Amino acid sequence: MAEQHRVHPVDVESPPPSAPEAPPSLLQPEKAGATAPATHLNPVRKRRSRCCTCLCWSLLAIVILIVVIAVLYLVFRPKIPKYSVDRLAVSSFAVDDNATVAVTFNVTVTARNPNRRIGIYYQGRNDLSAWYTDERLCTGSFPAFYHGHRNTTVLHVLLAGEAKIGSELLTELQQQQQTGTIPLAVRGDVPVRVKLGKLKLWKVTFKVRCSLVVNSLSAGGDVSIRSSSCKFKLKL
C-alpha cells in the first residue's frame, strides 16, 4: 500500500518574525542629546560673534578719533585764551533795611587770543556774574563777537542785580570796606564755537573764573583792583 504524504497547512500572509522593538524611553535621551547643540550652542556662538564685531568697530573708531585729534593738534597748535579784569566801576551800591544790596557794576575785561590759526566765535545768551563770598550780587552777559587770530579785544560788561546777603555778611562787608580789602569773584559760562582754519567746529563752553580784591565798593568812588587772577576751563 502506497505511503500517504501528509500536507501541513502554512499561513502565507503572516510576516516573518522580527527582532523586538526597543522601548521608546530608551531612544529619547539619544534624540535629545543630538538636538541640544543645534538649539542652545548656535545662538551663543552668534551672540559672541556679534559682540566681538562691535568691540572691534568701537576700538577702530577710538583709534581713528585719537589719530584725528593728534593731527589737528600738530597742525593748529591750540593755546588757551587769556582773560583779565582790568577795571571795575561801581555805578550804584545801595543797602535797604532788610540787608538787601542793589548793585550795578561796569566791568572792563580784556580777552586775548594767542592762536595763529584758530578763531573764536563768542555766542550770545551767556551767563556772567559778580559774587561776594557765596552770594551772587549781580548778573550780565558777555557780548557776542568774533575773536580773530592773535587778537586782543577789550570788552565792557554791565552787571546789575539785587541780593539779600544778611546782617552778619553785611557787617563783614562794611569792615572790609574800611580796611580796603574786599574779595570779589567774576564768573562766566560763555558758549563759543571754535574755527580751525575754515572749519567751524561744534559749540563748547568756556568757564572763566576771576578772583579780585578791590579797595572799595562805594558808588561813584575810585575803585582800585589790588589783585586779579583768572582761570580758564573748557567744558565740552
For 136-194, how does the pLDDT look when each residue is reduced to its tens digit (9 = 90+)?
999 999 889 999 999 999 999 999 999 998 889 989 998 999 999 999 999 999 899 99
- The CA-based dihedral angle spanning residues 20, 25, 28, 33, taken in that order and rounded to the nearest 10 degrees: -110
Q: Which of the four pLDDT bands, split at 50, 70 and 90, describes residue 123? A: confident
Q: Hey, is 232 helix, strand or coil?
A: strand
| Rounded alpha-carbon distances, angstroms, from residue 91 to 9, 10, 160 | 136, 133, 9
DSSP β-ladder status, 82-95 and 100-113:
antiparallel
Q: Note the pTM of the prediction, 2 decimals.
A: 0.68
Cα distances (Å, whole numbers) of residue 173 to 135, 153, 183, 219, 227: 12, 33, 9, 15, 18
pLDDT at 42 over 80: no
CA distance 175 to 180: 9
- Statement: residue 12 has pLDDT above 60: no
Per-residue model confidence (pLDDT) at position 69? 66
